[in-house]
Structure 1
Amino acid sequence: MTANSSKLDNATINFLQNSGAAISISTLYIFITAINLVGNGLSMWLLLFRTSPKSPSIIFMINLTLTDMALGAALPFQISYQLQGYQWNLGPKMCSFLTLVFYSNMYCSILTMMAIGIDRYLGIVRPMLFRRIRKKRLIAFISCFVMWGLVLSTLYPLMTTDLTYHVPQLNITTCFDILKTEMLPSVPAWAAFLFSMVFLLFLFPFCVTSFCYISVIRKLASDSKTSQKKRAIRLAVIVLLVFTFCFAPNNILLLIHSVLRLYYKKSIYTAYKLSLSFSCLNSCLDPFIYYFACKDFRQKLREIINLQSLSSGDSMKMENKETLYSAQ
C-alpha cells in the first residue's frame, strides 16, 4: 500500500513493471477462485438447506461462506487487472467496491473464526455458562452484524476515496496499488487507519482465537474420548494454520510497510502484495474448518458421498461391509 507524492518512488515503478510477479499472483488467484466457488458453493448449499437447526456455529459459518463467495466473485476482476499490466478500466467506483470486498473478506473471516472459537469455548470449557445464555441464535445474528459494522467502519476510507491513480510514466491507471496522500488528512490519521487494521482486526482476534482453541484442547484432552481429542486437535491446527500462513504474513508486512512508508519513506510493497495473495487462501480452507467444527456438516457431507458411492453400483458391497463391521 503506497501513498504517493508528486513523484513515484523507484520501488513502486519497479513493482508495476514486474510482469513475473503479476503472472504468479494471477495464477494463484485463478486456482483460489476455482476452489473457492466449488467448495463454498457446496458448503452454502449444505449449511442453508441440509443443516438444521441453525445453531450459532452454523450462523457464523453461513456468514463466513458469504464473504468467501463474494471474494471468489471479485477475484476475476483482480486477475484481469494484473494481467493487463495493472491497467484498471472499470472506473473508480468499481475499484473502491472490489477493494472493499477484498479486505472485508479477510477481516470478516478473522472475526468470524474468532466467534466460532468463542462458541466452541463456551460450549466445551464453560458449559454451565453456555446453558444459561438464552437466545443464542439471536446473539449470533447480532454478532455477525457487529462484525460487519466494525470491519466497514474501519475500512470506511476505502469507501469514500477514489482509489484509482494515473501513472504518466507507464501510461496506466492503477486500482489501490497507489494511494493518494490526501486520502487521509495527516500522518497520524494514516497511522491510525493502518494500525487499526493490524491490531484491532487481526492481532486481538488472533489472541482470542488461540486462547479459545488451546483451552478446548486442554479440556478435551483431560476428560473426553480419543476421537473427540483428535477432532479438536485437527480443528485447532487448521484454524492456527489459516492464521499463521494466510493472515499473519500479510498483516505483519502491512505493519512493517506502514512504518517504513510513513516515517522512513521506504517500501516493501512487492513482498506485501505477494503476502496479500496468500490471505485469499483462507477462502479455500474454510470448508475444511466447517468439516471439523460442525457435526451436522460432517454428517450431511458424508451422506452425499455415500449416496454417490451407492449410485455407482457399489451398494451391495457397502451393505456387506456394514454387516461385517456391525457383527464385530
Structure 2
Amino acid sequence: MIRMCTNNTTTTVDIVQGVMYIPVFLFGFFIHVAALRAFIVKRNSWTDTHIYMLNLAIADTTLVLFLPVRIYDAFICLPITYFCTVLISIHYINMYASILTTAAISVHRYLAVRFPMQTRSWRKKKAIAVGVCFIIWGLLIGTCAAFSGENSPEKLWTCYERRKNKPLNKTFMIFMVVVGFLIPLIIVLFCSSQILSDLSKVDNTSANKKAVTGIVRANMIVFIVCYTPIHIGFLVNYFIKPPPNWQNTVMPAHIYLIVSEWIASTNCCFDSISYYFLLKSSFS
C-alpha cells in the first residue's frame, strides 16, 4: 500500500527510497565540494569551459543539497502543501539544467575538436557561454512557471509523487521528453560520436588522447543510462490507466518510475567526477 501523507505513515517502498538517496547525497555532496574547489580555487583564469562546468556544478549541487528533504519525506511524511510544489520544481529544473548543460558542453567539445583553430580565435567565447547558460535557466524557469499547476497540492499523492489518476498535461509531458531529453540526447550522441571518430584518426597514442576519449565515451554512456529510464517511465505512466483502487495498489510502472528517478539523480555524482577531470584536459 502506498502511504497517504494525511495519515503520516510510511511503507517499505518509502523506506527503501530514503535509504537509496542517502549515499547519493553523501557522495554527491563531498565530491562536489572537491570539484568546485578544483576549478574555483586552483584555476588562475576563467575560460568558456569553466563557465559551462560551473553551470553544471550549480545545477547538480542544488539538486544534491535538496536531497535531504526527500530523504526526510521518505521516513517522516511531509504534509502536502505548495512547499512540495517548490521542491518538485527545484528537483526537475536542476535535473533538466544538467541535461541541457551537458548537451551544450558536448557541442563545445565537438567544435573544439573539429574546428580547433577557428574556435580559439573567437573573441566572445565567454559571452556566448554565459548567454547559453542564461538561456537554459530562462527556458526551464519559464516552462516551470507556465505549467506550475501541474504539481499543485491537489494533484499530489505525497510530497514528491503525483496522484495516479491525474496524469501530466500532454503538452508538458511532450515538452519534457522531446525538448528536455530527446533533442539533448541526439546532440550528445552526434557530438560524442564525431569526437571519438576524429580522435581515432589522429596518429597519437598519448595519455591525453586516451583520457579525452575515455571521458567522452563515459559521459555519453552515463547520459544514456541515467536519463533514458526516467523518460520511458514518464511515457509509460502517462499511457497506463490506473486501477480504481490505485491508492492501495503498488503498480509496477510506478515502482519503475521511482527507481528511474533515483537512477537519474545519481548522474550528479558522475557529472562531478567528469568535470573535475575535464578541467585538466585539453578543452580548458
Normalised-by-shorter TM-score class? 0.7 to 0.9
Does 1:225 pair with 2:207? no
- Equivalent of residue 146 in structure 1, options 135, 138, 142: 135
Letter in 1 for 2:258: K
Would the alpha carbon gap of residues 162 and 234 (structure 1) be closer, same or farther in structure 2, given more than 3 Å must change? closer
Q: Does 1:19 align with 2:19?
A: no
Which residue of the partner structure matches residue 201 of structure 1?
180
Structure 2 residue identity aligned to 1:61? M
Runs of 4+ in 1 over 6 A off after TM superposition: 296-299
Call closer, same or farther: CA 1:145–1:220 in 2, change over 3 Å.
same
Report the 3-state secondary structure (helix = DSSP H, G, I; strand = E; otherwise coil) of the residue aligned with 2:158. strand
Question: What is the CA RMSD across the aligned residues, in angstroms?
Answer: 2.9
Determine the C-alpha separation between the residues in 2 that align with 1:19 and 1:238: 36
Runs of 5+ consecutive residues of structure 2 not aligned to the other structure:
5-9
- 1:175 maps to which residue? 159
Per-residue CA distance 1:263-308 (angstroms, 9 max, x = gap): xxx9622211121011110111112211342226999xxxxxxxxx
SS state at 2:123 partner: coil
1:28 aligns with 2:28: no
Identity of aligned residues (%): 26
- Determine if contact 1:234/1:292 at 8 Å carries over to the other structure: no
One-letter code aligned to 1:177: E
Secondary structure, aligned partner of 1:155: helix
Paired with 2:115 and 2:215, the residues of 1 have a C-alpha distance of 19
Aligned partners of 1:151 and 1:201 also within 8 Å: no
Give the number of the structure whose alpha-carbon radius of gyration is greater.
1
TM-score calculated relative to the size of structure 1: 0.74
Which whole-Å CA distance do the structure 1 matches of 2:144 and 2:278 have between them? 29
Match of residue 286, structure 1, among 260, 271, 280: 271
TM-score in terms of structure 2 length = 0.85
Query: Is the 2:237–2:254 contact (alpha carbons within 8 Å) kept by the matching residues of 1?
Result: yes
Moved more, 43-52 or 268-277: 43-52
Shift of 1:103: 0.5
Pairs within 5 Å for 1:272-311: 272-295=257-280
Do the aligned partners of 1:111 and 1:201 also contact (CA within 8 Å) in 2?
A: yes
**Equivalent residue in structure 1 for 2:78, among 61, 67, 88:** 88
Instruction: Find the residue that maps to 1:50 and give its secondary structure.
Output: coil
d(CA) in 1 for partners of 2:219, 2:13:
28
- How far the C-alpha of 1:21 sits from its partner, in A, is 1.9
Alpha carbons of structure 1 residues 233 and 134: separation in structure 2 relative to 1, 3 Å? same
**Are 2:60 and 1:99 equivalent residues in the alignment?**
no
> How many pairs were matched up?
271
Higher relative contact order (CA 8 A, sep 6+): 2
Runs of 5+ in structure 1 lacking a partner? 1-13, 168-172, 300-328
